[in-house]
Amino acid sequence: MTAIEPEGLTKSFANTSAPALDGIDLDIRDGEFVVLLGPSGCGKSTTLRMIAGLEQPSSGFIRFDGQMMNGIPGRDRKVGMVFQNYALYPHMTVEENLSFGLRSRGESKASTAARVGEVLAMLGLAEHAKRRPRELSGGQRQRIALGRALVGRPSVFLMDEPLSNLDANLREQMRMEIARLHTEHGITTVYVTHDQGEALTLADRIVVMDSGKVRQVATPRELYLAPNDTFVAGFIGSPGMNLLRVPLQTLEDAGHGASAVTVSDGLLARLGKNAGEEVVLGVRPEDLRSDGSAAALRLDCRVALVEQFGTHLQVHLTLGAPCGQLPLIAKLPADHDLRRGDMITLYSGESAIRLFDPSTGSRLTEHRHGDLSLALAGQSDSGIAQQRDEVVEAC
Ligand SMILES: Nc1ncnc2c1ncn2[C@@H]1O[C@H](COP(=O)(O)OP(=O)(O)OP(=O)(O)O)[C@@H](O)[C@H]1O
Ligand SMILES: [Mg+2]
């Protein structure tokens, strides 16, 4: 298997002002499942295409296991790639679609047939071997595309939004299939998506990208608990973290009732901040509650909209003056009886609060559940998988 190390990877296309990729450094470990996540146009596909050798960097390097890949054509990189639109040959049968690459690489008829049979069985497609792509369902076509990438025994598996053409149920099924393939074969995988659910469930580590740059590389749990900046904080989570640009003040400083956002004396002291200092205060919708015993943060809000999700309510709120009607979202238990226009006070504990620098957006507070990196370093894979499940549930 293969470690992949892009270094200073930059790509500028002709007739564009900003580079599509702007100095990407990554260290993708042997056998790792890494997801590239970010908004449309942030450079995910361009990164993947350069790793595949389909696109050449304007500057920077890509190494596989320390070996320079610049200038080495894609067919010599032992890479299997799956695209969003499957890119199957419509006039070929399933079997022929899978055989084509091996035969054109000079594999014998017998060994090609054996390998294709193996992959068809692995993906549960043996009975469809003689059909053409148009005679198959979307999910089956997607499996063939996976099979075609696997048949050449790649050392690197690259997938660009492979599930986005499938309906929700099938997407979930295929997601489990991809996770199973990775667990069984341990092929280094780089997977592009803008679906957070996919990223959080599949990834060992997620690379969050924005405007051609890497914002953070971390496990799903680290991203959720300790986002580096306001972009990652707002992007991860469903919905993302509430980010309130406010002066830090206690109920007493504000003069009781005069401010919609106040923190406890204890929190202010522990943060080492002065009252009145402006910060961006981050708190996740699922960390707000209406019971305020010993809370570190207090928010006086007005209900703007209540969405009923069955399991919980998603409540859209506004914080009043002097914060200038800041919007806020809270996930509250389904038994709350709330209507548009109601006033409600919400609270959160200290461990849920993150502070960010208002000018740079960088996180100021350390993660407060102990040292996350230390906690994660000693963990087994199953421990990480369990934490990943917790994060997915929270999102
Ligand atoms: N061949 C090209 N010529 C010019 N600009 C391009 C080309 N390919 C990509 N770009 C630009 O590079 C930037 C990154 O594109 P890329 O396809 O990598 O984004 P992405 O993150 O995969 O987005 P999406 O989620 O929409 O697929 C975009 O601004 C895009 O318009
Ligand atoms: Mg793309």
In this predicted model, what pLDDT tens digit does every residue of 59-92 receive, in sequence order?
999 999 999 999 999 889 999 999 887 788 999 9
- Rg over CA atoms, the chain: 25
Q: Does residue 378 carry a pLDDT above 60?
A: no
- Shortest CA distance to 329 belongs to which of 343, 346, 342? 346
Percent pLDDT > 70 in the chain is 89
Q: Does residue 263 carry a pLDDT above 90?
A: no
Percent pLDDT > 90 in the chain is 60
Rounded to whole angstroms, the Cα distance separating 213 from 206 reads 14
- DSSP-H helix ranges across the chain: 44-52, 94-104, 109-122, 138-150, 168-185, 196-202, 220-225, 230-235, 251-254, 265-271, 372-377, 381-394
Rounded to whole angstroms, the Cα distance separating 103 from 91 reads 17
Per-residue pLDDT at 353: 92
Q: Does residue 367 carry a pLDDT above 90?
A: no
CA atoms within 13 A on the CB side of 53: 19
Give the angle subtended at the CA of 110 by the CAs of 106 and 112, to the nearest 5°.
55
Per-residue pLDDT at 388: 58
The neighbour count for residue 245, using CB atoms within 10 Å, is 15
CA of 19 to the centre of ligand 1 (A): 10
- Shortest CA distance to 219 belongs to which of 238, 234, 232? 232
Q: Would you state the structure tokens that stand for residue 341, as one six-digit string?
A: 């226009």
Rounded to whole angstroms, the Cα distance separating 105 from 114 reads 15
Domains belonging to the chain, first-starting first, are 4-225 (3.40.50.300), 239-356 (2.40.50.140)
- Look up residue 68 and give its amino acid: M
More confident residue, 360 or 153: 360
Q: Does residue 322 carry a pLDDT above 60?
A: no
- How many secondary structure helices (H) and strands (E) does the chain include? 12, 18
* Cβ-proximal residues to 20 (8 Å cutoff; 6+ apart), any chain: 11, 12, 13, 43, 46, 212
- When pLDDT is cut at 50, 70 and 90, the band that residue 272 belongs to is confident
How far does the chain reach from its first CA to its final CA, in angstroms? Answer: 32
Rounded to whole angstroms, the Cα distance separating 315 from 326 reads 14
Q: Are residues 355 and 349 in contact, defined by beta-carbon separation less than 8 angstroms?
A: no
Per-residue pLDDT at 286: 96
Best of 9, 11, 12, 13 to mutate for ligand 1, by most ligand atoms within 8 A of CB?
13
Per-residue pLDDT at 372: 44
Taking the CA of residue 13 as reference, the ligand 1 atom at the shortest distance is 4
Best of 16, 55, 165, 208 to mutate for ligand 1, by most ligand atoms within 8 A of CB?
16
Taking the CA of residue 38 as reference, the ligand 1 atom at the shortest distance is 21
pTM for this entry: 0.88
Per-residue pLDDT at 257: 61
Q: Does residue 382 carry a pLDDT above 80?
A: no
